[in-house]
Amino acid sequence: MKAIVALGGNALTGKERKAEIKKQFEAMKSTAKSIAKMIKNGWHIAITHGNGPQVGALLLQQKIAMREVPPMPLHVLGALTQGEIGYIVQQCLLNEFERQGINRRIATIITQVLVDENDEAFKKPTKPIGPIYSEEEARKLEKSYVMGRVEGGWRILVPSPKPISIIEADIIKKMMEEGIVVIAAGGGGIPVVKKGDGLQGVDAVIDKDLASQKLANEVAADILLILTDVEHVCINYGKENEMPLTDVSLQEIEEYYKDGHFPPGSMGPKIEAAINFIRNGGKETIITSINKAWEALQGKTGTHIHE
């Protein structure tokens, strides 16, 4: 059985969601235990992940160093965070596999994700990323980025286009079928467009849940397993009449979605990913917390979304 396992901010950086390196290793060490259970039970997986805090830290480093070193564009920073996080995941998993005597290989694939140059999102960048800049700094950055006014200064605004396809999907699929644990599509993948006779990186951020779903369909995964910091998706979340969802059909979840139970920027994209995965031939999407991954796969907990 094949699964795409999408790791949220909590799995990688812990509760504070800061890119401090010790915290990242600590969080991943415990996440690795949970993933090892799946591997031991014969699952073939690719791991995807977010990169919000890490890319935010790199943007801040660009800002501080910009007088001395030319700042790197966002798509390059995306590639850097894929390397950074891939390294942490690889090492923590490898150490856990060694401890448990699991004989499986692990590799990170730098992943590009095709987006449409004419995606509506490019007309109006809305997603603020990275640190707050002064007016003077913002003027300099305006040459390469759309800058937006926020409280206390300026921030880089980037578009969040829809993923069309995963450029490296075929190799990821082959590796998964070989039993290699693959880390891919980190940070939603590096957004690229078709320009002239080739691909070119663009400064945008693809939602990591939607990129994970694309990958899941393209490698024909049985399950899309989205690991976050809540055990269940709820309706009326945070209200008195909050109710956890355990087993829901596509039709039911679509109705809840329309009724506004899942806000954009947190649960919304996960539900959209869940729906798209099944619509495109996937069997089931499971959303749960990191430490419940294995129990959820056995049907004991988590929110299960299916046809």
Each residue of 17-35: b (16+ CB within 10 Å) or e? Answer: bebeeebbeebbeebbbbb
> Which stretches does DSSP call E strand in 212-294?
223-228, 233-235, 243-245, 247-249, 284-289
In the residue annotation, 127 being an active-site residue is answered as yes
Residue 50 or residue 302: which is nearer to ligand ADP going by CB? 50
Tokens of 111: 């992943």
Residue 264 or residue 299: which is nearer to ligand ADP going by CB? 264
- Closest CA relative to residue 185, chosen from 208, 217, 203: 208
List residues near ligand ADP by CB under 6 A: 8-10, 50, 228-230, 233-234, 237, 261-263, 266-267
The distance of closest approach from Cβ of residue 171 to ligand ADP in the complex, given in angstroms and rounded to an integer, is 26
In the residue annotation, 130 being an active-site residue is answered as no
Of the candidates 10, 51, 217, 276, the residue annotated as catalytic is 10
In the residue annotation, 270 being an active-site residue is answered as yes
The answer to whether the beta carbons of residues 114 and 192 sit under 8 Å apart is yes
The distance of closest approach from Cβ of residue 224 to ligand ADP in the complex, given in angstroms and rounded to an integer, is 13
Of the candidates 8, 9, 86, 282, the residue annotated as catalytic is 9
Residue 71 or residue 189: which is nearer to ligand ADP going by CB? 189
Instruction: Give how far Cα 152 sits from Cα of 49, 134, 155, Å.
Output: 30, 8, 10
The distance of closest approach from Cβ of residue 226 to ligand ADP in the complex, given in angstroms and rounded to an integer, is 7
Instruction: Collapse the DSSP code of 14 into the 3-class scheme (helix H, G, I; strand E, B; otherwise coil) and give the result.
Output: coil
DSSP 8-state code for residue 144: T
Residue 8 or residue 187: which is nearer to ligand ADP going by CB? 8
Please say whether the dihedral angle defined by the alpha carbons of residues 224, 228, 231 and 234, taken in this order, is positive or negative.
negative
Q: Tokens 């997603």 appear where?
A: 127
The distance of closest approach from Cβ of residue 142 to ligand ADP in the complex, given in angstroms and rounded to an integer, is 29
Amino acid at 178: E
Closest residue by beta carbon to ligand ADP: 8
Of the candidates 63, 173, 208, 214, the residue annotated as catalytic is 208
> Which stretches does DSSP call E strand in the chain?
2-7, 44-49, 106-108, 112-114, 127-133, 146-150, 153-158, 165-166, 181-183, 190-195, 198-201, 223-228, 233-235, 243-245, 247-249, 284-289, 303-306
The distance of closest approach from Cβ of residue 209 to ligand ADP in the complex, given in angstroms and rounded to an integer, is 7
Residue 26 or residue 229: which is nearer to ligand ADP going by CB? 229
114 contact partners, CB below 8 Å, separation of at least 6: 163, 164, 165, 166, 167, 192, 193, 194, 199
Residue 5 or residue 141: which is nearer to ligand ADP going by CB? 5
Of the candidates 29, 40, 127, 140, the residue annotated as catalytic is 127
The distance of closest approach from Cβ of residue 195 to ligand ADP in the complex, given in angstroms and rounded to an integer, is 30
Which residues are catalytically annotated?
9-10, 127, 208, 270
